[in-house]
């Protein structure tokens, strides 16, 4: 097959289709629900990051906005023969026109049968947030520390050490609690999910706002086994906390998460368009290295061309990691289907019951 353009500098190639056929075609359910994907029309980017900001972290170099039409086309390409739907949200960044991005995505989700989260600014009034939550196909919010006013144009992490309540204020949580709405929470702090403040604040949210459907993104940014071991057990007993597994490529982390939380509390997510990147990830203790075939600034320690030629998409490597964990734990087909669409559909139904229009 000829390479098919995906997004940014990435293409879908014969290597990817062969990987799909060998590892995924006979294993993945026929229905896929992606509970963590970014869709943002490029025309709504109002500030292009400086090279200094792009080079601070690898995501800055690979994260380019993708519109709804291209996102739909790409999902058809990478999930051949599958029925696809998603929970989408824009880039949670002040580099974008947040209002225009939210409005455009809401219309696209209604048109395509997708669902969306509102990218919510912490300085919004509850009345403004309530108007957004009342719109069709809207399940809740996607807050983020980069939406705190007063960002540094040359730094992505000025507010990395912020309290969760600085970008997800209590008055917003009270409204979300009344609505039974969802929150996809990207935890802050260099200490990731295991940071004592994060754990205390997550438990406080669950205690004071029990109606909120709390979904912790990326397994709480636990991309390595040591981080997962430090954090997972501390939230194991609260069956009302969900996790999405987006951006996690380590099969041992997926295995630990499944053992700790069970298949009914985990939602599949891609973190696309970022995970259209080609390559693989390697782990060293609490750190990881991304290998890719494109000459990004972060990609200085390249592997030999014959190895790079075997690279597939990061999202396929993540799927293989999930498969390995499921196989190791002998998950049933029903449990696998729950991961890939059933749990998300259950949450959608529960949010719909409590939604006030």
* Three-class DSSP category at 281: strand
Q: Which residue has the tokens 């057990």?
A: 233
- Can you give the residue ranges of every domain in the chain? 4-279+313-354
231 pLDDT higher than 80: yes
Collapse the DSSP code of 188 into the 3-class scheme (helix H, G, I; strand E, B; otherwise coil) and give the result.
coil
Band (353; pLDDT cuts 50, 70, 90): low
The structure tokens 């912020």 sit at: 162
Q: Right CATH number for 4-279+313-354 from 1.10.540.10, 1.10.260.40, 3.40.50.300, 3.20.20.140? A: 3.20.20.140
Q: What is the mean pLDDT of residues 93-121?
A: 98
User: Distance between CA 118 and CA 136 in Å, rounded?
Assistant: 12
User: To which H or E segment does residue 33 belong?
Assistant: strand 31-38
List the Cα angle 215/219/224 in 5-degree steps: 170
Q: What mean pLDDT value characterizes the chain? A: 96
Please give the distance of CA 316 from its chain centroid, rounded to a whole number: 15
User: Is pLDDT larger for residue 8 or for residue 153?
Assistant: 8
Q: What is the mean pLDDT of residues 34-49?
A: 96
- Residue 248, C-beta contacts closer than 8 angstroms, at least 6 positions apart: 218, 219, 222, 223, 254, 318, 321
Per-residue pLDDT reduced to its tens digit, 237-253: 999 999 999 999 999 99
What pLDDT, on a 0 to 100 scale, did the predictor assign at position 326?
98
The span from the CA of 310 to the CA of 182, in Å, is: 39
- 270-318: pLDDT as tens digits: 999 999 999 999 999 999 999 999 999 999 999 999 999 999 999 999 9
Average pLDDT, stretch 6-32? 98
Q: What value does the mean pLDDT take over residues 121-142? A: 98
pLDDT score at 155: 80
Question: Is 90 exceeded by the pLDDT of residue 340?
Answer: yes
165-182 mean pLDDT: 98
- Does a cis peptide bond (omega within 30 degrees of 0) precede residue 356? no
Whether the Cβ atoms of residue 60 and residue 36 lie closer than 8 Å to each other:
no
Taking phi first (over 0 means left), then psi (-120 to 50 degrees means alpha), and beta for anything else, what does residue 143 get? beta
Distance between CA 64 and CA 70 in Å, rounded?
A: 12
Burial of 255: CB neighbours in 10 Å, binned 0-12, 13-18, 19+: buried
CB 179 within 8 A of CB 146: no
- In tens, the pLDDT along 184-199 reads 999 999 999 999 999 9
Percent of the chain at pLDDT > 70 equals: 99
How far does CA 306 lie from the centroid of its chain?
31
Tell me what percent of the residues of the chain surpass a pLDDT of 90.
Answer: 94
Reply yes or no on whether the pLDDT at 355 is more than 60.
Answer: no
Burial 318-352 (b: 16+ CB within 10 A, else e): bbbbbbbbbeeeebeeebbbbbbbbbbeebbeebe
Is this prediction's pTM over 0.85?
yes
Q: What is the pLDDT, as a whole number, of residue 280? A: 97
């Amino acid at each position: 097959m000829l390479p098919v353009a995906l997004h940014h500098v990435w293409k879908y190639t014969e290597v990817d289709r062969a990987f799909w056929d060998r590892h995924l075609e006979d294993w993945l359910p026929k229905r896929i629900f992606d509970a963590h994907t970014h869709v943002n029309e490029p025309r709504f980017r109002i500030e292009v990051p400086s090279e200094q900001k792009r080079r601070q972290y690898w995501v800055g170099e690979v994260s380019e906005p993708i519109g709804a039409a291209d996102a739909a086309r790409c999902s058809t390409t990478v999930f051949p023969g599958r029925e696809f739907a998603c929970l989408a949200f824009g880039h949670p960044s002040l580099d974008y026109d947040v209002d225009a991005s939210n409005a455009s995505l809401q219309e696209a989700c209604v048109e395509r049968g997708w669902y969306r989260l509102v990218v919510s600014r912490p300085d919004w009034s509850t009345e403004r947030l309530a108007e957004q939550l009342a719109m069709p196909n809207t399940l809740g919010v996607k807050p983020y520390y980069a939406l705190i006013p007063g960002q540094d144009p040359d730094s992505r992490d000025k507010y990395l050490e912020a309290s969760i309540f600085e970008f997800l204020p209590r008055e917003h949580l009270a409204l979300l609690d009344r609505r039974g709405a969802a929150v996809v929470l990207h935890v802050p702090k260099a200490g990731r999910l295991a940071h004592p403040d994060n754990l205390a604040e997550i438990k406080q949210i669950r205690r004071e706002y029990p109606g909120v459907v709390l979904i912790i993104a990326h397994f709480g940014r636990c991309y390595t086994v040591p981080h997962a071991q430090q954090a997972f057990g501390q939230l194991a007993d609260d069956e009302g906390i969900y996790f999405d597994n987006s951006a996690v490529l380590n099969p041992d982390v997926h295995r630990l998460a499944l053992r700790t939380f069970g298949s009914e509390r985990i939602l599949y997510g891609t973190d696309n368009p970022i995970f259209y990147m080609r390559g693989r990830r390697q782990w060293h203790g609490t750190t990881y290295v991304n290998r890719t075939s494109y000459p990004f600034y972060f990609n200085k320690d390249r592997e030999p061309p014959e190895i790079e030629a075997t690279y597939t998409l990061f999202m396929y490597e993540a799927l293989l990691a999930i498969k390995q964990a499921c196989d190791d734990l002998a998950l049933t087909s029903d449990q696998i289907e729950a991961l890939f669409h059933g749990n998300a559909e259950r949450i959608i139904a529960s949010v719909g019951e409590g939604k006030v229009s």
